[in-house]
Amino acid sequence: MNITIDINGKDVTAAIEPRVTLLDFVRDVAGLKGTHAGCEHGVCGACTVLLDGEAVRSCLILAAQAEGSQITTIEAVDGTTRQPGELSIIQDAFCESHGLQCGYCTPGMVLAAKTLLQHNPTPSREQVRDAISGNICRCTGYVQIIDAIMLAAERLQGRNQPADGA
């Protein structure tokens, strides 16, 4: 079947089998490799993308179901306003706190954080914990991820800015 999905503001059209998931469409058709396959059965959260602004699991959605929705992947986490090599505030906070190690779950974590901070700009640590509880990380024990999201929340509020303005 022919499918068109708006991914990161661009219409991507392809003839695909109905069984293709949004995850495989994003990776194999749109060629956006920042969205990762972890379990392919909806538990780990590595494949998180934003669908109409909300974090969802792309392995649990058929590509056909996503027609008519706007998909945002890690490659466009902060819209299209930034140059390649320029980090968003959330991404920068993950670097500052080293809220990652192998990087595999990281795009999903960043997107989960983005959804949270959109709805709740001043979350508590417990609320952050809850918001990322559907994203499994095997490297960090989550401590520095929560640190990163708390820092991002502060910086998005204009507080605790980096000294060098980075």
Partner 1 sequence: MRDKKYRFLSQPRRVVEDRRFVAGKGHYIADYDHADMAHVALMPCHLPAARIDAIDASAALAMPGVIDVVTGAELAAAIDPLMNGLDTPKVRRYPLAVGQVRYAGEWVCAVIAESRAIAEDAIEHIRLETTALPFVLDPEQALRDDSPPVHPDHNSNLLLDKKFVWGPVDDDFAAADHQLDFCVTWGRNSTVPIETFGVVAEWNAWAQMLDIRASVQMPKYADQIARALGLAGNQVRVHYDIDVGGSYGVKRGIKHAVLTGYLARKLHRPVRLIEDRLENMRAGDAHGPERKFDVSVAFDKDGTVRSMKMRALDNAGAYAGRAPFQLGKPIGAIVGPYRIGSVAYQAISVTTNKAAQEAVRGFGQAPTNYALETAMDRVAAFLDMDRLALRQHNLIKADEFPYLIPSGSTYDSGDYHTVIDKVMATADYPRLVATCNQLRKDGMMAGIGIAACLEPSGGNASFEPLLNESNQTTTWMESCQINIDALGTVTARIHTTSSGQGHETLVSTVIGEILGIDPDSIRVVRPNSLESLPGNSPVGSRMAIMLGGAAARAAEKLKAKILAIAAHHLQCDAANIDYQGGAMLSANGRHITWGDIIELAHRQIHGLPDGMDPGLASFDIMQVPTGGDLPKDGKVHMYPCYSFEFHLVLVTFDPIIGKPEIRSYTIGHDCGTVINPAIVSGMTYGGIAHGIGAALLEEFAYDESGQLMTQSFLDYLMPSSHEVPDIQLVKHCTPSPHTVFGQKGSGESGYLGAPAAISSAINHAVAGLDISFDKLPIRMSVISDKIAAATQHRSDSE
Partner 2 sequence: MKSASFDYIRPDTLDAVCACLASHPDARIIAGGQSLVPMLAMRLARPSLVIDIAHIDGLSAIRDDDSAVVIGAMVRQAKALSDPLVAKHLPLLAKALTHVGHPPTRARGTVGGSLVHADPSAEIPLVAVTLGASLRMRDAGEDVEFHAEEFFIGPMLTMTPPTACLFEICFAKPTCAYVGTGFHEVAARRSDYALAAAAAHIEADDAGVVQDLRLAIGGISDFPQRLPIDIHIDLSAGMADLGTSLTTAIDAALDDVDIVEDMHASASYRRRVAAELARRAVDDALREIAQDLS
Q: According to the binding rule CB under 8 A, does residue 159 interact with partner 2?
A: no
Smallest separation, CB 39 to partner 2 (Å): 8
Q: How far is C-alpha 31 from the geometric centre of its chain's CA atoms? A: 16
Smallest separation, CB 134 to partner 2 (Å): 3
Q: According to the binding rule CB under 8 A, does residue 87 interact with partner 2?
A: no
Q: According to the binding rule CB under 8 A, does residue 74 interact with partner 2?
A: no
Among 14, 42, 87, 156, binds partner 2 (CB under 8 A): 42
Which CB atom, from 66 or from 91, has the smaller least distance to partner 1? 91
Which CB atom, from 66 or from 113, has the smaller least distance to partner 1? 113
Per CB under 8 A, residues contacting partner 2 are: 1, 17-19, 21, 40-42, 45, 48, 51, 54-57, 59-62, 64-65, 112, 115, 130-131, 133-134
